[in-house]
Amino acid sequence: MEETRKIKIKVEELSLIFGKNKKKKERALEMLKNKISKTEILETTKCTVGVNNVSFDVYEGEIFVVMGLSGSGKSTLIRCLNRLHKPTAGRVYINEYDITKESNKELLETRRTEMSMVFQNFGLLPHRTILENAAFGLEIRDEKKAARLQKAQEALETVGLQGYELKFPSELSGGMQQRVGLARALANNPEVLLMDEAFSALDPLIKSDMQDELLQIQDKVHKTIVFITHDLDEAIKLGDRIAIMKDGVIEQIGTAEDIITAPASEYVEAFVEKVDRKTIITAGKLMFEKPTVVLYGKDGPEIALRKMRAASVEVLPVVDKDKKFLGFVWLNDLIDSAKNKSQILDAIIKTEVHSIHNNYTVEEMLPLISGKKSPLAVVDPNNGKLEGIVSQTSIIIEATKYDRKEINELQDQAKELFKWKK
């Protein structure tokens, strides 16, 4: 699916080296291309590698989170995206336009019209009202006062600060001040929003509220957001996709589920080992796609039994001619029905069963299997069509504290719960 989405930001082989001597920076870049370590480059050239040959795409309307520990290069990277740092090598494209080639005048216009940035420190002007602070970027853009105040008012309403327009920053809490910073960025109506550790200075409860607020705002405005954080929980909560950085290099890019279930390196695996898998792993990851099904109106008990034997299971989903999920039939009920020479399934289809969507997490699925033997049917919420089946074994495996090797071994046995009893 991703290849059909519009690429808003494209980063190609981007490197940034800090150093005062041009020749030493050139030497450092050459060493970097030859895979010399960051430490050795520093010792040899006195130049610091901030970003090391990074390439990635950011799709229109997604929240792309870049995370890593202090010194990983994440904040340096985001400053390359709007040329606060000029890259030593590589390209950054916004809407297919290479901003690394822009003149200072062109770059200023790009910053004014196409992207806005929200920093960790709120940067509010203490002598100006909240409304005036929200309108400040538009003032820099020379918009007329009435127009900029109207746009600022709308932005404040978007972040939930209506009624605070005439207050001053000192009268607001830290979380509310950060909302003003976000409103100021949104007032410019940028296509791209860059957020550098925007919530890290906030108290935990306020931080959580701001994360929720950002997600709600994104549902309304659908901006392309690059969000920098050192907090894995924050990355998981906000990110449509996550890039994990170490020493200026991107170790892995993927959804939270991709990264947790298939870490690309020992570093990433160590990073995510304490994450509660139950809150991340979804039905879409666990389900058996295209399971054998019983066709209502066409298959009778004998045909259903044959399908069970072939699939070596003791329960099958039933769907109608449009593939909509109707319920499950079980082995013992089918045997009884066949003995009674019944030709229809109506009386034995178990319809009072749970169906779920593919984004249900293990944590959400666990209560649905409590005290029951049935698997869970994964259906398309738009049309009710069956997409797959999640076995109870798969859910239980992910809910327990097995290590990765044990999980892989047990997942190979996941169908055993429903094996045909010969």
Residue 139 CA from chain centroid, whole number: 34
Range of the domain at 92: 2-114+190-275
Q: How far apart are CA 335 and CA 243, in angstroms?
A: 53
Q: What is the pLDDT of residue 10?
A: 96
In a domain, residue 127? The reply is no
Q: What is the pLDDT of residue 415?
A: 47
* Co-location of 255 and 217 in the same domain: yes
* Co-location of 302 and 412 in the same domain: yes
Q: What is the pLDDT of residue 383?
A: 93
Q: How far apart are CA 317 and CA 295, in angstroms?
A: 9
Residue 13 CA from chain centroid, whole number: 23
* Co-location of 259 and 303 in the same domain: no
What average pLDDT does range 77-81 have in this prediction?
A: 94
* Co-location of 14 and 74 in the same domain: yes
* Co-location of 287 and 251 in the same domain: no
In a domain, residue 145? The reply is no
Q: How far apart are CA 388 and CA 392, in angstroms?
A: 13
In a domain, residue 76? The reply is yes
Q: What is the pLDDT of residue 412?
A: 58
Give the domain-ending residue among 225, 255, 275. 275
Query: With bands split at pLDDT 50, 70 and 90, how would you rate the model's confidence at 403?
Result: low
What average pLDDT does range 34-55 have in this prediction?
A: 93
Give the domain-ending residue among 275, 310, 335. 275
In a domain, residue 411? The reply is yes
Mean pLDDT over the full length of the chain: 88
In a domain, residue 119? The reply is no
Nearest 10 degrees: Cα torsion 78, 82, 87, 91: 100
160-182 residue pLDDT tens: 899 999 999 999 988 899 899 99
Q: What is the pLDDT of residue 222?
A: 93
* Co-location of 249 and 346 in the same domain: no
224-264 residue pLDDT tens: 999 999 999 899 999 999 999 999 999 999 999 899 888 99
Q: What is the pLDDT of residue 411?
A: 54
Residue 418 has pLDDT above 50, yes or no: no
In a domain, residue 167? The reply is no
**With helix as H, strand as E and coil as C, how does 221-245 read?**
HCCEEEEEECCHHHHHHHCCEEEEE
* Co-location of 343 and 222 in the same domain: no
* Co-location of 202 and 305 in the same domain: no
Query: With bands split at pLDDT 50, 70 and 90, how would you rate the model's confidence at 121?
Result: confident
* Co-location of 202 and 334 in the same domain: no
CATH code for the domain of 327: 3.10.580.10
Q: How far apart are CA 232 and CA 285, in angstroms?
A: 20
Give the bridge partners for 329, in sequence order.
316
Number of structural domains (the chain) is: 2
Query: With bands split at pLDDT 50, 70 and 90, how would you rate the model's confidence at 103?
Result: confident
* Co-location of 312 and 400 in the same domain: yes
In a domain, residue 249? The reply is yes
Q: What is the pLDDT of residue 2?
A: 47
Query: With bands split at pLDDT 50, 70 and 90, how would you rate the model's confidence at 275?
Result: confident
* Co-location of 81 and 229 in the same domain: yes
Q: What is the CA radius of gyration of the chain?
A: 27
* Co-location of 58 and 107 in the same domain: yes
Q: How far apart are CA 72 and CA 57, in angstroms?
A: 19
Give the domain-ending residue among 244, 275, 306. 275
Angle between helices 22-33 and 38-45 (to 10 degrees): 150
> Going edge to edge, which strands form the sheet with 355-356?
288-289, 386-390, 376-379, 355-356
**Strand pairing of 241-246 and 224-229?**
unpaired
With beta carbons less than 8 A apart as the criterion, state whether 199 and 234 touch. Answer: yes
In a domain, residue 314? The reply is yes
| Residue 387, SS3 per DSSP | strand
CATH code for the domain of 89: 3.40.50.300
276-335 residue pLDDT tens: 888 888 999 899 888 899 999 899 888 999 999 888 888 999 999 999 999 999 998 988
